[in-house]
Structure 1
Amino acid sequence: MMVHIQEPKFPWEIVHMDWVTALPPGGDRSYNACLVLVDRYRKTPMFLPYHKDDTAMDTAMVIWSNIISHTGLFQNGISERDPNLTSALCTNLHTLFRKKLSQGLWWNTRVAWHSGIKNSLGGLQKNQEITRKILL
């Protein structure tokens, strides 16, 4: 069954995620996989070194430090991976934001990420403003 994916209106609003595994170890930390995130608006890929045995929390930390800290929280993540992995990844991203945001903002951010709908804070631009304030 094909599902229509909405066209994003802002950069980093919708992100495709995939993992390239079974690579030969490389780099000073012997990475053996690559996490690929593609901004659907700009069609811009980000290639992040990764270990194929990393946990969902490790993945969330990689995404937080390399993507969200620079762009703000994206509203929808799309992956063809196992739903259990994707669910654990979302839960861990929420955990990171819960530690950073007050409870009121947390629920709006959670709704925006989990369901892919714009939240009551004003969409992606507001999420980016919030993220910048968190990181300062």
Structure 2
Amino acid sequence: MHQNKKEIQSFLWFAGYYRQHIEDFASITKPHYKLCDKYTVFEMTVDRVKAFESLRQGLTTASLLLMPDFKLPFKLYIDALGDGLGAALHQVQIINDKPVEGPICFISRQIKPA
């Protein structure tokens, strides 16, 4: 578990490299990004520990992304929550003689309050 803000920032940098493989990345990491604010006191709350565990789970079970086939149609799934936006680009491809719908990429972003 992280002991200070620098460790949190380092972990978020590492996890960010895999953000396209993790659905709802922005929502999952929101508690940790708030913790990196210089005006926030470092405290690992229950919510932050749960978010860390969720992100760690996402990193170890990240979706296998398909390579896009530009000859086939795409499906775009979008979602907007109070604190973030998310989208998943999918495509149905033939794998082992069966049609399989799989993700090509995930995108998410936090929404800052006005």
Normalising by the residue count of structure 2, what TM-score does the alignment of the two structures yield?
0.29
Of Structure 1 and Structure 2, which has the larger fraction of its residues in helix? 1
Normalising by the residue count of structure 1, what TM-score does the alignment of the two structures yield?
0.26
Q: Which has the higher contact order (CA 8 A, sep 6+)?
A: 2
Of Structure 1 and Structure 2, which has the larger fraction of its residues in strand? 2
